[in-house]
Structure 1
Amino acid sequence: MTYRLHFPPDVFDTYKQLPELARRDLALVLVDAQEDPLAASEPYGQDDGIIRTVAQGHVTAVVLVGRDTRTLTVLAIAYAGPS
C-alpha cells in the first residue's frame, strides 16, 4: 500500500528553493519511499523504523513514517550541492 506524502509548509518552501536537479532527485526518492519507506530509506540515528533518511544526488531528507496513518512526512531537507 502506498503512503501519502506530506510536506509541512515551511519544509515545502525549502523544497521550492532547491535547484531544479535537486528537486527532481528528492521527488524521485520520495516517490520510491511512498511504496516501501523502510526499504527505500536508511535509519536516522538509532533504527526505530519511524524517523528515516532518504537521499539522492546532493539532497537528503529526514522523513517520519506514520505506519498507522500511512503517511510519510518530510521533516527536513538538506542540500549540499552547487547553487
Structure 2
Amino acid sequence: MNWHVSRSPHTIDAILGLPVEAQLALLDLIEALEVDPYAVSEPYGIDDKITRQASFGEHGLLVMLVNPLTSRITPLSFMWTG
C-alpha cells in the first residue's frame, strides 16, 4: 500500500515553525510513516486504528489520522519540547 502524508499549507507552516533539529527528525518520521504508519506509531487514546501518535527525535510528538481507505495520513498536531 502506498501511504501519503498530507502536506497542507498549514502543515508546512507548522513544520517550518519547528527548530531545524525537529524538522529533520520529523522528515525522517514522515518517510517511515509513508512506508508503514502502523509500524512506527501507536494508538492515541482508544485503539480505533485511525487516531495515532508517533514520536520524532528525542522531544517530538506527532498526532495524526491514518485512513486505510484512502492511504492518507493527516497530521493533527506537532509538539516539540526540546
Cα pair 1:6 1:74 within 8 Å, conserved? yes
CA contact (8 A) 1:53 1:63 kept: yes
**Aligned-partner SS, 1:65:** strand
**Residue in structure 2 matched with residue 36 of structure 1 by the alignment:** 36
Tell me the equivalent position of 2:59: 58
2:45 is matched with: 45
Question: Aligned residues: percent identity?
Answer: 33
Show the 5 A alignment for 1:1-83: 1-56=1-56, 57-81=58-82
Q: C-alpha distance in 1, partners of 2:15/2:59? A: 13
Instruction: Give 1:8 shift.
Output: 3.3
Shift of 1:5: 1.2
How far apart in 2 are the matches of 1:54 and 1:30? 10
TM-score (normalised: structure 2): 0.89
* Unmatched segments (≥5 aa) in structure 2: none
Structure 1 runs of 4+ off > 4 angstroms? none
TM-score (norm 1): 0.88
Which one is further off, 42-51 or 1-10?
A: 1-10
Task: Give the total of aligned pairs.
Answer: 81
Q: Distance in 1 between matches of 2:8 and 2:76?
A: 7
1:14 offset after TM fit, Å? Answer: 1.4
